[in-house]
Chain A
Amino acid sequence: MKYVDEYRDGARAQTLVKAIARLVANIGSTRQRPLQIMEVCGGHTHSIFRYGIEGMLPDCIELVHGPGCPVCVLPMGRIDDCIAIAERPGVIFTTFGDAMRVPGSRKSLLQAKAGGCDIRIVYSPMDALALARRHPDRDVVFFGIGFETTMPSTALTVLQAEREGVANFSVFCNHITIVPTIKAILDSPDLHLDGFLGPGHVSMVIGTTPYEFVAKFYGKPMVIAGFEPLDVLQSIWMVLRQIAEGRCEIENQYARIAPERGNSPALETVARVYELREFFEWRGLGSIDHSGVRMRPEYARFDAERKFTVKGVSIADPKSCQCGEVLKGVIKPWQCKVFGGACTPETPLGALMVSSEGACAAYYQYGGVKRSQAVAGSA
């Protein structure tokens, strides 16, 4: 497959693996603890597991799977809100597929569907708008989730609905922003991260300049990374090269997609439709200031939160869950008290066990050689 296979070339991978080993040998002589690199984005986590990248790296490199899977950071209260909307008579609730299994305090959307709610999987917000056109007698609600990557498509759909005068379409807006989240992680006292792989697709929208503070104020190198396995491997090598050379910058490995200044039409659309919330609640990370957006008052009639007076109840994560520590890289997924026991992909307690991009589910499903050694070692 063109533009895909080139980025999965095993021979090139071996060249990079050797280059990484050489860099690590240089850095390693002066260090006592592993090199921790966090990939912020769930798409990277997926690639890392799918291609077995972790097992190709020297043992002293630890990849920390960060908070960038939008499904994984959804708190239970938001799922409860979704179900409350879906249970209203006449509502068709639409969502991306991987939100279906995220546990709420009582049930997941999948269980609510089995219980009789009309909940449908869509592949784009435009599919939800099309449903609204086809069912003018029903209220079609789209569950808007994701970082800046998916924000523009939701916003464009709202603008399209406005142009067409589709009155029975609304968005339950739970979009979140990446920069305050990275900042919250960097402010966390128990953090030992040495560098970041930056989210390539978010950067396609916002550009690379918003991350400057990571290098400037926190002294951590970051490389904006693509999602094919060679992209990930090369980005790891670039982070290590910065560490080895004593540099600390925002570099862009994904320049073929992510421009330095982002995509201005997308940014304008986002600014037109949304405004920042004062705070937004994250699973595992708690409330983070300015980390989410809501619809501007001008678009209130397309805002499910206003249309259905959503309660927005805050529900604490289960006490036994250590999602937050996993998200911040303080512990590895298998070190969580409930990993593989009370919390499995069949019966997830935390959302990290739900999506294939979630660190825990990824370890459970794709877990590389390192996991089996670790689990065997701890047994």
Chain B
Amino acid sequence: MTHGFPRHVGKLQGETVTLAHGGGGKAMKDLIDDVFVSAFDNPLLAPLDDAAWLTLPGKQLAFTTDSFVVDPLVFPGGDIGKLAVCGTVNDLAVVGAVPLYLSCAVIIEEGLSLDLLRSVARSMAAAAREAGVRIVTGDTKIVGKHACDKLFITTAGVGAFHPGVALDIRSARPGDVVLVNGMLGDHGAAILAARGDLALDTAITSDCAPLHELVGALLDAAPGTKFVRDPTRGGVATVLNEIAAASGVAIEIDEDRTPLREEVRGFCEILGLDPLYLANEGKIVAIVPSDETEVALAALRAHPFGAAAAVIGRICDGEPGRVTMRTVFGGSRIVDVLVGEQMPRIC
């Protein structure tokens, strides 16, 4: 369990985190051992040295970091821990890297329930196992009441390059197609609903999932794939605008081919939100040359996280940087980048 390093697991006292757990003394050691080391359990983390020694295949590495602040900490389909692992794993996956190692730094507000902290750590460990990555180094800070909102997590990740991959946001060309691997907007809607101030009961769950296998399968099947990105905050609309701007092309998507759950559609209708701007945590947008469309779709659909994959649009000639949508109604509208947050409409 502790890989030859003597630890004193299970000594943690009390029910909530206090400032004493951040003091650098025994209480802090107990917290780290009991909550994190026992959950993340692996030989690279076990020495708890100032840095972990990693063995990496090949010469080129992908390296990324992301901070996670989410309200509420636990939501249908996941929690901040699963999000913190999947988010960083996915950032590596979409550049064509095989995720290997993660760091985990937490900032905890005093008073956080230890049970909650333990369950977040367990959820990180489970997500890491599913993603085939190890959490090899970390840091813990405790701050006073109101100095942070309950729990913030920062993960960094390194990955090795998927051989033969050269994804480039500038490489989309007219004729290429735009694919997604499934239903859009689930995470954003689930989080909004889980905050509980909407008085709406929904069965929407977050799509939070590690996508490295799915992206690997896509790149194996469609080696001509131009670019992949995970449409998290800002949603698919934002990613499409980034691609259109960087490649100097126009993108046209079709409303009737955009996969949306009925629940998410209804949720957006009631609140006046546009699902194209809702966050996703288990989705990719991929730009694929048209002659690889079918193999790419087949590869995505063969994976459990890609069953509802679809072609939602195409790269076309037209005003560079412009994204438009052909509406179900037969009209056309511009899909622009969002200014600030989406605000629900009054009527």
Contacts and interface: CB of A to CB of B under 8 A. Distances in A.
Nearest to A99: B346
A97 interface: yes
A54 B327 CA distance: 12
Given A123-B271, A124-B199, A372-B319, A366 B345 contact: no
A368 B343 contact: no
Nearest to A17: B330
A70 interface: yes
A121 B346 CA distance: 11
A52 B331 contact: yes
Interface string A355-366: 111000000111
- The DSSP consensus for interface residues of chain B is loop
Contacts of A368: 331-334
Interface stretch (B151-159, B177-185, B261-269): B261-269
Nearest to B328: A8
Interface stretch (A145-153, A157-165, A305-313): A145-153
Contacts of A13: 329-330
Interface core residue of B328, B340, B346 (most chain A CB under 10 Å): B346
Given A122-B197, A123-B197, A96 B344 contact: yes
Interface string A44-71: 0010011111111000000000000011
Contact of A51 (B265, B322, B333): B333
A110 B340 CA distance: 11
A4 B329 CA distance: 12
Contacts of B265: 1, 4
Given A1-B269, A13-B329, A51-B327, A366 B346 contact: no
A56 B345 contact: no
Interface string B307-347: 00000000000010010000111111110100110011111
Given A1-B262, A1-B265, A364-B336, A98 B329 contact: no
A123 B345 contact: no
Contacts of B344: 96-98, 121, 123
A121 B197 CA distance: 9
Contacts of B272: 46, 356
Interface core residue of A98, A100, A110 (most chain B CB under 10 Å): A98
B198 interface: yes
A10 B328 contact: yes
A52 B347 contact: no
A294 B339 CA distance: 33
Contacts of A9: 329
Given A101-B340, A123-B197, A127-B199, A52 B345 contact: no
Interface in A1-37: 1, 4, 8-10, 13-14, 17
Interface in A332-374: 344-346, 355-357, 364-369, 372
A14 B327 CA distance: 13
B346 A52 contact: no
A366 B262 contact: no
A124 B340 CA distance: 22
Contacts of A220: none
A369 B271 CA distance: 27
A123 B319 contact: no
B345 A355 contact: yes
A77 interface: no
A96 B328 CA distance: 29
Interface in A162-216: 201
Contacts of B336: 364-366
Nearest to B327: A51
Nearest to A126: B199
Interface residues of A, number: 53
Given A1-B262, A97-B344, A366 B271 contact: no
Interface string A106-131: 00001000000000011110010000
A123 B199 contact: yes
Contacts of A122: 197
A229 interface: yes
Contacts of A372: 319, 322, 334
A50 B274 CA distance: 10
A367 B345 CA distance: 19
Given A1-B266, A50-B327, A372-B319, A346 B346 contact: no
A13 B347 CA distance: 24
Contacts of A366: 333-334, 336
Nearest to A228: B329
A146 B346 contact: yes
Contacts of B339: 344-346, 365
Smallest CB-CB A-B distances: 10 pairs? A52-B331, A97-B343, A345-B339, A51-B329, A52-B333, A97-B344, A96-B346, A10-B330, A52-B332, A229-B329
A104 interface: no
Contacts of A97: 343-346
Contacts of A150: 346-347
11 contacts: A1-B266, A1-B269, A13-B329, A52-B327, A96-B345, A110-B340, A123-B198, A124-B199, A365-B336, A367-B333, A368-B334
Contact of A4 (B269, B271, B322): B269
A49 B333 contact: yes
A149 to B, nearest CB: 5
A372 B324 CA distance: 12
B262 A56 contact: no
A127 B198 CA distance: 9
A43 interface: yes
Interface string A75-102: 0000000000000000000001111110
Given A1-B265, A372-B319, A50 B346 contact: no
A53 B346 contact: no
Contacts of B345: 46, 96-98, 355-357
B334 A121 contact: no
Contacts of B262: 1
A98 B346 contact: yes
Contacts of A56: 329-331
Nearest to B270: A123
A50 B330 contact: no
A369 B327 contact: no
A71 B344 CA distance: 12
A14 B272 CA distance: 26
Nearest to A353: B339
Given A46-B272, A51-B327, A70-B346, 15 more contacts: A1-B266, A4-B269, A13-B330, A49-B333, A51-B329, A51-B333, A52-B333, A96-B344, A97-B343, A150-B346, A150-B347, A229-B327, A344-B339, A365-B334, A368-B331
